[in-house]
Structure formats: structure tokens, C-alpha cells
Amino acid sequence: MNTMKNDLYLRALRGERVERTPIWVMRQAGRYLPEYRATRAQAGDFLTLCKTPELACEVTMQPIDRFGLDAAILFSDILTIPDAMGLGLVLEEGVGPVFEKPLRSQADIDRLTKTDAEQDLGYVMDAVRVIRKELDGRVPLIGFTGSPWTLASYMVEGQGSKEFRRIKGLMFESPAAAHQLLQVVTDSVIDYLKAQVAAGAQSLMVFDTWGGMLSTSNYQQFSLAYMDQIVKALKADPATADTPVVLFTKGGGAWLEMMADTGCDGLGLDWTVDMADAKARVGDRVVLQGNMDPVVMNTGSEQVTDHAMQVLQAYGNHAETDRGHIFNLGHGIQPHAKPDNMRALVETVQHKSAAFHQG
């Protein structure tokens, strides 16, 4: 493969000393960019955009070309696996992802079988291969998945939810069925992530969007246990053992120590977590990624610069004993964010963070 021109992100994830803090942003290829909206219009709809490797590559590259971020992330969706399982994914304007055939019975769960990544999700691997070729070693490529709990939540609810009445009901009333579902999804996720690495992904991220709405004991049993399986399966396979893995549970600030116990390389932090506190708790065990409030990106460049500096200062100096920091938002950038603010954010981190890496 190509030699890396900018491997700052990968070095930081490995806990190596770096000259400055690397930065990438969740949903950095997205609706806030006019060029993304133009490509999406050309595709006709979001799923076609995801399933057309050349177009997925085009939008993956847009924020890299425009802002010079330190990593690219595969343009795809977390719901590719449930879609491949035949649940009939559609994206409804103003509603978001909806499954036409959500899981409503034990028989529905019994029918599920593990996906074959290359066979059922080949378009994702094709996109990874096309993007790696197009990147030509400029920056690393991040592959990703939704967590088993998050995927199962969508599969049972049929769409996003505030109460999570159905998936929590399944968990409380039929824990064996919930675990059966989560295991099929987990097996599919492991295969999917291994295939992404084989296709060219250089690090992996697991988005546990809905783990934060569980109690601590339920989080341990129904979300973290399956992410732990994923990390251990990847670390046990020589083909993926050296690929860094980052876990991100939105709303999971209370559980950082448990998450670090999985053996993952990094933890994503949402904006509710105090960065200095997180560093004191687990910063010698994992790299920390985050965690500016994404809403700041909808304001002015002065606010963006101020808040970026606050995050850098909260992490503080990168001593030998610390694993390190990767700058990101605490969740995905929003459609109303201003592109000029992304430029201000990237320039602030890339020009001001070196001071925190002296000594």
C-alpha cells in the first residue's frame, strides 16, 4: 500500500509522541457542505450515495480536499448490516432511517442469519478500496460500524426513538431473545470490520449511539459485552491485531474505565464529559477522542476558536505517560454548521496544539 504522507492520526492512536494534536470530525462529509449536497442530489437519494462506491469516495474526499483534516472516514451508514439482513431500510425526509420490516417476534429473530461482508455488503468494501486508492496515502482511512446494541435498537424499534420502548421491552421481558439478536449482529459486525480492514481501512470505530440510555448493569450486559467481543476478536486475528479500535458510547461518560477494559485503543468522548477528568481516569490506558459541543459549529468563528482552545487546554500537556488526544466534536457535525467554522476549527487545532506537545 501507499506510504503515508500524514500519519499523525495513526501515530497518536498508537500512543506515540506526535508534534501536534490530529483532528478529524464525525460526519465531516455531510450536509453542511454545499459540494456534498450537490453530490447527494446527483445520486438521487442517500442510500444510492452510500451504495455507489465512486460517489461515496467523492464525498469522503470533499472535507479532506477542502479543510486538510488528518483522517478520512469511510462514507457509509451505520445501518448497512440490518439493511443487508433484509429489514428494508428507507430514509424518510424529516424522520430519518426507517425499517419497513422491523423485528416484532421471536420468529423474526430466529430468521436472522449472519451477513457475509464481501457478498452482502460488497459495495462498502468496494468504496473502501476506491477511497484508499484516491487518498494515495495523504491521510489514513477510518472504517466503522454501529454497535450491536445500537443496530439492534433500530432493528426492533423500526426507527430512532426517545423511549426505546420495544428494544428495552425485549431486553426486560425476553433477555434470551435480546442476546440471541445481539449475538447474530455481533458476529456480522466482526466479519464486516475484518472485511473493511482487508479492503484497506487503517483504523476502526464503533459507534454506540444508543448505549447511553441504558442503566449501568444493562449497559454492561447488552452493549459493552458485545463491543468487548468485537475488540477481542479483532485483536486475536493477526490480520486485524494491529488495527487501532476506538469505542464511542454517546452518554457513556460514567463507564470509561469499563470501556477501556475491553482492550480498545481509544475512547470517543461526548461533550458532557470533562476532558481533564477523563484523562485522569483512563488517559494512560487509551487515547481520548473529542469532545467539543457540535452546536458551537453553528455559531461564529470566534466561538469555535475559543471552544477548541478550551478542549486543548482541558487535555493539557502530552506527557510521556499519557496515551494522547485526537481532536473531534462530541458527536457528529450538524447540517447547520458553517463550512468557514470547520476551517477555523482545523486551523486552530493544527496551529495551536503544538504548544501542548513540548517537552
- pLDDT tens for 96-154 read 899 999 999 999 999 999 999 999 999 999 999 999 999 999 999 999 999 999 999 99
Cell of 167: 428494544
154 as an active site residue: the answer is yes
- Separation CA 350–CA 163 (nearest Å): 40
Q: Is residue 334 in some structural domain?
A: yes
| Bond from prior residue into 317 cis (ω within 30 degrees of 0) | no
Kindly indicate the confidence band of residue 1, based on its pLDDT and cuts at 50, 70 and 90: very low
Residue 100 placed within a domain: yes
State residue 359's pLDDT score.
67
Query: CA dist 99 to 43, 90, 108, 167, 343, Å?
Result: 21, 6, 13, 14, 36
The reply, when asked if residue 11 is annotated as ligand binding, is: no
**Residue 234 confidence class, pLDDT cut points 50, 70, 90:** very high
Report if residue 3 sits inside a domain: no
Residue 95 has pLDDT above 90, yes or no: no
What domain count does the chain have? Answer: 1
CA distance 230 to 243: 13
Mean pLDDT for the stretch of residues 196-204: 98
Q: Any binding-site annotation on 209?
A: yes
Catalytic residue among 20, 27, 132, 285: 27
- Exposure letters 60-90 (e unless 16+ CB within 10 A, then b): bbbbbeebebbbbbbbbbbbbbbbbbebebe
Is 30 marked as binding a ligand? yes
Distance CA(214)–CA(270), nearest Å, equals 16
Distance CA 54, CA 220 (A): 39
Reported pTM: 0.97
How far is C-alpha 321 from the geometric centre of its chain's CA atoms? 26
Catalytic hit among 20, 40, 138, 323: 40
Query: Is 31 contained in some domain?
Result: yes
Nearest to 72 by CA among 21, 2, 142, 134: 142
107 part of a folded domain: yes
154 known member of a binding site: yes
* Active-site residue identified among 154, 192, 219, 315: 154
Cα dihedral 68→340→206→275 (10° resolution): 100
Other Cβ atoms within 10 Å of 52 Cβ, number: 18
Residue 4 has pLDDT above 90, yes or no: no
Specify burial of residue 17 (Cβ count, 10 A radius: 0-12, 13-18, 19+).
exposed
Is 27 designated active site?
Answer: yes
- Ligand-binding annotation for 29, yes or no, is yes
Is the residue at 1 inside a domain?
A: no
Domain that holds residue 87: 8-357
- The pLDDT tens digits of the residues spanning 148-177 come to 999 999 999 999 888 999 999 999 999 999
Q: Does residue 280 have a known ligand-binding role? A: no
Question: 77, 120, 228, 270: which one is catalytic?
Answer: 77
Decide if 281 is catalytic.
no
Asked if residue 267 lies in contact with residue 259, where contact means CB atoms within 8 angstroms, the answer is yes
pLDDT digits (tens, 9 = 90+) for 275-334: 999 999 999 999 999 999 999 999 999 999 999 999 999 999 987 777 899 999 999 999
Full DSSP string of 126-192:
HHHHHHHHHHTTSS-EEEEEE-HHHHHHHHHHSB--SS-HHHHHHHHH-HHHHHHHHHHHHHHHHHH
Separation in Å, CA 301 to CA 10, 64, 271, 355:
28, 20, 19, 21
For the record, the C-alpha cell of 256 comes out as 470509561
The amino acid at 273: V
| Amino acid of residue 14 | R
Q: Taking the chain, what is the end-to-end CA distance rounded to the nearest angstrom?
A: 33
226 is catalytic: no
- Where residue 47 sits, what CATH number does that domain have? 3.20.20.210
Q: Is 32 a catalytic residue?
A: no
Whether residue 236 is annotated as binding a ligand: the answer is no
Residue 199, annotated as binding a ligand? no
